[in-house]
A and B are shown apart, each in its own frame.
Chain A
Amino acid sequence: MSTSYGMIAEFDGPGSLFHAAEKIRDAGYVSFDTYTPFPIHGMDRAMGQKASHLPWLSLIGGLLGFTIGLALQTWISLDGYALIFSGKPLFSAPAFVPVTFELTILFTAFFTVFGMFGINKLPAWYHSIFNASRFGSVSSHGFFVSIESADAKYDSKETRAFLKSIGGSHIEEVEE
């Protein structure tokens, strides 16, 4: 048999999955995950997940966009192509606001979306969890928990018994 990725168990709804996640967290498992068709409110805390760092990435994107926007316009207007239009000063701060603002938003959006992909390691067209036989329903109505074999506490037999004790069904060992 090839190497094991971990153990997967199915639960019947958001409520039972939520409490299962709390119990797994309290039992001391670290490398585990839950899978749901929609985000469940409060699941991050039930799983003991820390706050997302994504807003910092967005902020960096925003600052970068602001700087690039302002620098681009300043350089072009003062040096790159310095022409006087309708008697306005070469450096016309109010006139530079719209483009600076738009580039701030644009860069924030890029950093947010691609930052989220990066943190979530997407795209991931292959993932071991898809080897689980009943996992296809996860995007429709399935609620699953997995405990990974990488976890220090993982033990094929004990983990299976533990998942059963907290109410999991269709428990299955998933191949890498």
Chain B
Amino acid sequence: MNTTVDLEVKRRPLVTGNQTFESISDIVCKPVEATPPKWWHIALLGSITLLALLMSMIGYLVWEGIGVWGLNNPVGWGWAIVNFVFWVGIGHAGTLISAILFLFRQKWRTSINRFAEAMTVFAVICALVFPGIHVGRIWMAYFMFPIPNSMAMWPNFRSALLWDVFAVGTYFTVSLLFWYVGLLPDLATLRDRAKTKTKKIVYGLFALGWRGSSRQWHHYEKAYMILAAIATPLVLSVHSIVSFDFATSQLPGWHTTIFPPYFVAGAVFSGFAMVLTLLLIARQIFNMKELVTMRHLENMCKFILATGMMVGYAYAMEFFMAWYSGNPYEQFAFTNRAFGNYAWAYWIMVSCNVLSPQFFWFKRFRNNIKLMWVISIFVNIGMWFERFVITVTSLSRDFLPSSWGYYSPTFVDVCTFIGSFGLFFTLFLLFLKFLPMVAISEVKGVMPEANPHHKEAH
């Protein structure tokens, strides 16, 4: 066999259905330009109701104090931190898709990156709510930032909780910038297609007068690449630093070096599941099957399988290290996780996160949309329970049996969490209505016709 020539491997096309550049704009802009359907209004109303629930729960919390939550001694960290880690983790898949897959030249990302980035930004907003309100006296929340004040008081930079403020703050800002830079050419598309004066002005304002000039594209592409290059270490650092909140403490079950990679893998895992949950619905409703093809969905299933296996490996390795370290507290913490007072939560976590993705070994299941959606829901549930298991089991059974306790959430905990979905979906529904959910210019760029040497002899 001749190995001196490059064989061009034929891949499945990324865009199907004989699309032209114009038809891509039409497909993606349609949901933005058409009058929103009835279900959209109903869904938005539902989301806003949940958002109101969140706001009232926060109001009640601020008025009454942290005592309205189920926290006790020794479990001083409950649903607030669990929800925080849950939401931050969901964001990570968006950055992985937009930045890491970009650096690896994975062109299939173009159909889903806008969607995933929007999810990142909104998930981080939901995440930021929880550390903000859990401080108790939220009028003191400015203590978290290095702001000069009349008490000449400054934050403690040797605390992992403070690192978190900087990590998540930076993550939100950079994700937002990245998203906006990607949106710029598409906002210009909406501006040029706008039929009413208001739309023309509003989209025009945000499009910054983008005119598709190649001299601008040149710097634009460079900026995009640099942003991808810095967002990659950033996303890895963010969940590592979130894991430091636990890992830098002395508590058995938390004080382990496996936490940073384990948390990052779990974050990507949960994020991909959330992308799939939302995308499967949006693709169906907005008729985007020719842009978000089965190939895209299959790739995401493979990601879920791979990261799910990493998470499963971490669960097993934690047990091994507990045994191998010979530390009795560590050994107790892990035996207690699997067989103790919160064993029910542990086994929900294992079944959802380790067992359910195993279906994706088989192509038949990776092409079954209904099954995919069900598994993505299981993973979402499982990853929430993972954070619950880590946080609560370790705290409820610490060093001295005399200080043990059992934690249960109150209705305020539950309603605040449910309400945070209201915040997320309100933002998401507004995004679907007012912004293009697929990166129009990027999808055009990966079509074979976009290559200036297309159909020319090589």
Give me the interface of A with B, judged by CB distance under 8 Å. Answer: 13-15, 17-19, 21, 33-44, 46-47, 49, 52, 54-55, 58, 72-73, 76-77, 80-81, 83, 85-86, 88, 92, 95-96, 98-99, 101-103, 105-106, 108-110, 112-113, 115-117, 119-120, 122-127, 129-130, 135-141
Contact = CB atoms under 8 A, between A and B. Distances in A.
A80 to B, nearest CB: 5
B191 A43 contact: no
Contacts of A19: 452
A81 B189 contact: no
The interface residues of chain A, by DSSP majority, are classed as helix
Contact of B219 (A17, A54, A72): A54
B227 A109 contact: yes
Which of A19, A52, A55 has the most C-beta atoms of chain B within 10 angstroms of its own C-beta?
A52
A15 B153 contact: no
A76 B155 contact: yes
B218 A49 contact: yes
Which of B209, B210, B212 has the most C-beta atoms of chain A within 10 angstroms of its own C-beta?
B212
B226 A112 contact: yes
Nearest to A46: B452
Contacts of A137: 192
Contact of A77 (B152, B157, B226, B449): B157
B166 A14 contact: no
B158 A140 contact: no
A139 B188 contact: yes
Interface string B212-228: 11111111111100110
Nearest to A36: B212
A126 B227 CA distance: 27
A29 B348 CA distance: 68
B192 A138 contact: yes
Nearest to A125: B209
Nearest to B238: A102
A59 B267 CA distance: 29
B41 interface: no
Nearest to A108: B230
B189 A40 contact: no
Nearest to B441: A38
Contacts of B321: none
Contacts of B193: 139-140
Interface in B193-237: 193, 204-205, 208-223, 226-227, 230, 233-234, 237
Contacts of B233: 101, 105
A43 B212 CA distance: 13
B454 interface: yes
Interface of B: 20-22, 25, 146, 152-159, 162-163, 166-167, 169-170, 173-174, 177-178, 180-181, 185, 188-189, 191-193, 204-205, 208-223, 226-227, 230, 233-234, 237, 241, 244, 440-442, 444-445, 449-456
Contacts of B226: 54-55, 58, 108, 112
Nearest to B157: A73
Contact of B154 (A76, A86, A110): A76
B450 A43 contact: no
B117 to A, nearest CB: 14
Contacts of A39: 214, 217-218, 220-221, 441, 445
Nearest to B446: A38
Contact of A140 (B153, B173, B178, B189): B189
A55 B230 CA distance: 12
Contact of B21 (A35, A101, A109, A140): A140
A14 B237 contact: no
B142 to A, nearest CB: 15
A34 B166 CA distance: 41
B189 A122 contact: no
A44 B445 contact: no
10 contacts: A18-B452, A36-B214, A37-B441, A52-B218, A92-B158, A115-B223, A120-B215, A123-B208, A125-B209, A141-B21
Given A15-B454, A139-B25, 7 more contacts: A33-B214, A36-B214, A37-B440, A77-B157, A124-B211, A139-B210, A141-B22
Q: Which 4 A-B pairs have the closest CB atoms?
A: A18-B452, A123-B208, A116-B223, A81-B154
A136 B192 CA distance: 6
B189 A139 contact: yes
Which of A17, A36, A101, A108 has the most C-beta atoms of chain B within 10 angstroms of its own C-beta?
A36
Contacts of B440: 37
Given A52-B222, A55-B226, A72-B146, A37 B211 contact: no
A103 B455 CA distance: 47
Given A52-B218, A139-B192, A112 B223 contact: yes
Contacts of A113: 177, 180-181, 223, 227
A110 to B, nearest CB: 8
